[in-house]
A and B are shown apart, each in its own frame.
Chain A
Amino acid sequence: MSDRIRLLLGDRPVEISGIDPTTTVLDWLRGPCGRTGTKEGCAEGDCGACTVVLAEPDGSGGLAYRSVNSCIQFVGTLDGVQLLTVEDLAKDGTPHPVQRAMVAAHASQCGFCTPGFVMTLYHLYRTYDGPLPPPRETLDRALGGNLCRCTGYRPILEAAERMFDGRTAGEDVTATVAALEGLARDKGLAYEDRFFAPRTLAELAGVLKVHPGARILSGGTDLGLEVTKAHRTLDRVVYLGRVAELRTVAKTQTHLELGAAVTWSEAADPLVAIWPALDELFARFAGPPVRNAGTVGGNIANASPIGDSPPVFVALDADVELAGPAGMRRLKLADFFLDYRKTALAPGEVVARVRIPLPAPGLKLAAYKVSKRLDDDISAVCGVFALALDGGRIADARIAFGGMAAIPKRAASCEAALVGKDWTLATAQAAAAALASDFAPIGDMRASAAYRAKVAANLLVRFWHESTGSGIATRAVSYG
């Protein structure tokens, strides 16, 4: 017998059956649930009008909240979670402080993006524990995945400050936690032989053995678009988001190990704690609802030439572990990408983990993203530079770029021009010139080939200034 998808919709237990498990959460809300407050603005996770909040037990008696784009999440992923929409905020007819602040700040005009902003702010309201009012940088980061075309954002930022006025202690969530714990499964969800959410690697292997052709769903921020943009039907989906072993973050003596189903929001802090130079890149990596869903493994396995994490991991000499029918195997991430959207994954294999060697002393690291818009844009060029300096000499260099080739790729000639040289501006310029023999980028709607080539070269010069403390200002925009 098929399992039903069980969740809390607000405070109400709901079971889903009889519908396509790749129905988006948005379509399910607006259709069968009759909750039309949540809007579709783009159906690709780039505008935030469909933002909803998911809550799950945090393991210590409370709830962990994350905002996601309901337009690209499948209902199958809701199993065992609490789903909160704009309709859930007012209690007994009294608007939530977020809603009151939005009205008081005149922060809605046409109102169509508003429910999404309200939910994004609600997420911030529930999770933010820093100084009040929150610094502008905090708000910019929180709002990076929501588009408003009317207000120009100023009143929304004002509402984001005002909503905390008189914030009282968090509400009692014990009943919700208990209800969610009651939804926990002993064995992974198997919905109509079409949607599987295994709970362990062993269960995952079992499912993939039976269904080797099933599509692997991790965060859904890419696979979701096959349904909403390419209008394809996914016959069978295996969801990695409940596989315990893939959800771990571990720091060993030698490596930081990130499970494939760890979201970017979860991965960013441990990464930045070890490599502070990555902070800006991960702030500019998609928008919060996408970072709250999209995963480490997904960004690698989809092998996009313009994904932002592969250049980072390649430059940091990471390994990737693949789990498959024959067990685990490990290879260098740089060897994982074979050609445009082609990887070393064998049938039935999934990315299980990324292992990043901890930095040696003397590492100079920078990760630069260049895009038309600063926040929530896809890179025209992403350049990551890792130098091992021995005194003033470059002992080792790993330079990787996204957006410059059909795959995330190291810049061999550039590296050769660096290794063994003194780290001077002249060396940086020579290495920049060498990029011309490493890459022949394409021109498209994001950038021309000439601009990509020019910027890639200039980023080396920027790196020199910033890594040597030349004293010359290089940044028009601060992410501090």
Chain B
Amino acid sequence: MAETFATIGKSVAHDSAARHVSGEALYIDDMAVPEGTLHAYCVPSPKAHARIVSVDLSAVRAAPGVHAAISAADVPGRNDVGPIYKGEPFLAEGIVEYIGQPVVAIAATSIKAARAAAKLAKIVYEDLPAILTIEDALEKQAFVAKSYVMQHGDAPAALERAPHRLKGTFRNGAQDHFYLEGQIALAVPQEVGEMTVWSSTQHPTEVQKMVARALGRPANAVTCEIRRMGGGFGGKETQPAIIACIAAVLADKAGRAVKYRLDRDDDFMITGKRHDFLVRYEVGFDGEGRLLALDIEFAARAGHVADLSTSIVDRALFHTTNCYYVPHVRATGHACKTHTQSNTAFRGFGGPQGVLAAEHVIDRVAHAVGRDPLAVRKLNFFGPAPRDLTHYGQRVEDFVADRIVAELAGDVGYEARRRETDAFNAANPILKKGLALSPVMFGVSFTALQFNQAGALVHVYTDGSILLNHAGTEMGQGLHTKICQVVADEFAVPLESVRIAATNTSKVPNTSATAASAGSDLNGKAAQRAAQAIKARIAGFLAGQYRIGEHEVRFEAGHVIAGDARLSFREAVQLAYNGRIQLSATGFYRTPKIHFDRASAKGRPYYYFAYGAAYVETTIDTLTGEYSVDRAELLHDAGRSLNPAIDIGQIEGGFVQGMGWLTTEEIWFDATGRLRTHAPSTYKIPVARDLPRQFRTRLWEGGMNREESTHRSKAVGEPPLMLATAVFLALQDAARAAAPKALLDAPATPERVLMAIEAAK
């Protein structure tokens, strides 16, 4: 049988895997740079909040090796990288608003020279009162944007009527992205006024736009390119614009290429993180644990400017009931202004905070009614109408969390494990075990409608090789591999025939960030359409040549079958070229069906939902608070997976990253507002030993996107991160075994575990 070359649904290796392991994969810092390239460094603000009285850079400019030194006043265009709101400077203007904020940028012949010169900057500050905590911001009603309320039914009245009520406060910590490759941009001036920027960014179009704006030039004068990032996780959605603008303005001033690479400390000190939240809630429920009403308030640390905070808080509100039907909901969101780094997008984008809060609440409800939390979860699942209605008005048409949870609970023998855990705890005074099985339901689409579009540009060359450009960026998630699979499949050629080009704003314009897990949904479709357009042209041409119907032309196994003729793909392409057929096409896609009205907080913001569930067992040591994650079983719905190996990688990696957020990763500020966890010596992401001792991940076999997504696959970038909620819940379960009233906040560091138990004794 002839080889089909079909790779859809196959575990083909990441397109760069061989280059990753050989060291040949090039990241921006590895690229050959033009002669005379300068290196940038920024003078950081030493104050959380102060007025800039004066800036004197004369000594800096006279320092050896310095070619340019700029402050906000030297920015030729707009000193603003605000993605939604105006007034978010990349160089402090008039005031500084967090410790570490770039105030002055210097380009010199070496990073050492730039750092040395930075010490010569004379900047006079006048202290202003700083807001350093969410509580302080709430008290002062300091918000970066107007607070937002989503309401469904009448939560206050329903709470009044509810037979049982619970109030509580819950916190989750911030999280640094800790992409292994720090933020970096290389800006290279071109002919009169043109600028090319290589930026480690998930959002090349935004870098292009912001750099153009900073230089006071039109977008067509700026090109942004990125082949690959060394990790992104949302941290390279808006933050790269800060880095790129500084590099570009310096390059423009100096008339030379400028590389601005943040070392690990600067990356931590300058860029935003996942939002920490303070959540206050009141929940009403019946004697069985059925949720009747939820009044919940999310207060997020936005930092000094809004960035994407309002959208992130919105997503927390959207996800505040996770998989559960609640007839009356009032969800309020605040994006609190603090004089700290501006928190930003991070895998899940507010969803994890919403889901975590929902699961914390349901866990407490279960405990209050004396039932196993899994039973109460099942009781509250979305179901047939009217139990299919979310608090934002979308009907849940594709609910499968109940099936996934039932399957997983059966696989792990949940009831028996619960009994064994209870027996262990009865016999052990120092160690306590806990377990949890919790689901995830995550809405897929950008909630801002305009971002749900993508483009692609496909070239077929006369030797039969194919070059693929699309709007998405590669940060390790395997997007390029998947889109290559889609295009190779369309043409029925070997995967090796398709080469991915670096993402470049001059090839595919007006792109959306590679974010919201939507990369393969959007770009897969756009690339598929571009390929289909070329195929249709070739088919039309061959149909004419062979005097057959277009439908009689088929692309199969590296060949094009035209009636009785069987041409190799290369022959067909060459013939088409000779026949003056255009072998290049763009493709465009916009997600159908979605809409949302923010004023009424109602609509259908999500094209579909992604689902999964995790079962986790933990053991805690009640003398130190240290713990182990003994077992994790993940069952996740990736739809019809485009590439199971890549999807499993996203699920496992997302889970471990989420586990880090909820366990050992702690962002800690001192009393002056200085971030003191700013490198891996103080900020602890998981290592190999932290993996659950037993760890199994499976794609749910029932997976099938009921919407017409790319080959019926489902988004898989963000949803699995929330599977780690089960780790937190299992630790909470174990803590309760030590002290029934113990309540954990996140991250559940050993200290928090021990102190929560001690406080509840």
Contacts and interface: CB of A to CB of B under 8 A. Distances in A.
Contacts of A144: 687-689
A458 B230 contact: no
B688 A153 contact: yes
Contacts of B520: none
A216 interface: no
A365 interface: no
Interface stretch (A175-183, A249-257, A268-276, A442-450): A442-450
A33 interface: no
Contacts of B685: 147, 149
A214 interface: no
Interface in B63-106: none
A130 to B, nearest CB: 17
B180 A372 contact: no
Contact of A372 (B14, B232, B670, B749): B749
Interface string A93-114: 0010011001110101111111
A331 interface: no
B628 A377 contact: no
Interface residues of B, number: 88
Contacts of A140: 688-689
B454 interface: no
A144 B652 CA distance: 19
Contacts of B478: 109
Contacts of B655: 152
Contact of B754 (A106, A143, A445, A454): A454
Contacts of A49: 180
Q: Is the interface of A mostly helix, strand, loop or mixed?
A: loop
A223 interface: no
Nearest to A100: B21
A380 interface: yes
Interface string B520-534: 000000000000000
A287 B687 CA distance: 10
Interface string A358-398: 00000000001011111111101000000000000000000
Interface stretch (A184-192, A205-213, A472-480): A472-480
B687 A147 contact: yes
B359 interface: no
Given A41-B264, A110-B476, A474-B431, A152 B657 contact: yes
Contacts of A448: 751, 755
A277 interface: no
B140 interface: no
Interface residues of A, number: 86
A455 B571 CA distance: 74
Contact of B666 (A108, A139, A372, A461): A372
Given A36-B23, A87-B23, A473-B430, A154 B695 contact: yes
Contacts of B23: 35-38, 85-87, 115, 118
Contacts of B688: 139-140, 143-144, 146, 153, 156-157, 375
Contacts of B646: 106
A47 B180 contact: yes
A151 B649 contact: yes
B230 to A, nearest CB: 3
B684 interface: yes
A153 B30 contact: no
Given A154-B691, A372-B666, A451 B751 contact: yes
Contacts of A444: 676
A154 B652 contact: yes
B115 A110 contact: no
Nearest to B30: A36
B135 interface: no
Given A153-B687, A454-B758, A372 B750 contact: yes
A367 B78 CA distance: 58
Contacts of A475: 431, 621
Given A151-B653, A462-B623, A474-B623, A111 B20 contact: yes
B682 A445 contact: yes
Interface of B: 11, 13-14, 16-27, 29-30, 112, 115, 177-182, 228-233, 263-265, 428-431, 475-478, 619-621, 623-628, 645-646, 648-649, 652-657, 664, 666, 668, 670, 676-677, 679-682, 684-691, 693, 695, 697, 749-751, 754-755, 758
Top-6 shortest CB links A-B:
A37-B23, A110-B476, A112-B230, A111-B20, A152-B656, A109-B476
23 contacts: A36-B23, A39-B180, A43-B264, A47-B180, A87-B23, A106-B17, A108-B16, A108-B21, A108-B476, A113-B180, A146-B687, A149-B653, A149-B657, A151-B653, A152-B655, A154-B691, A229-B265, A287-B687, A373-B664, A373-B686, A373-B687, A445-B670, A451-B754
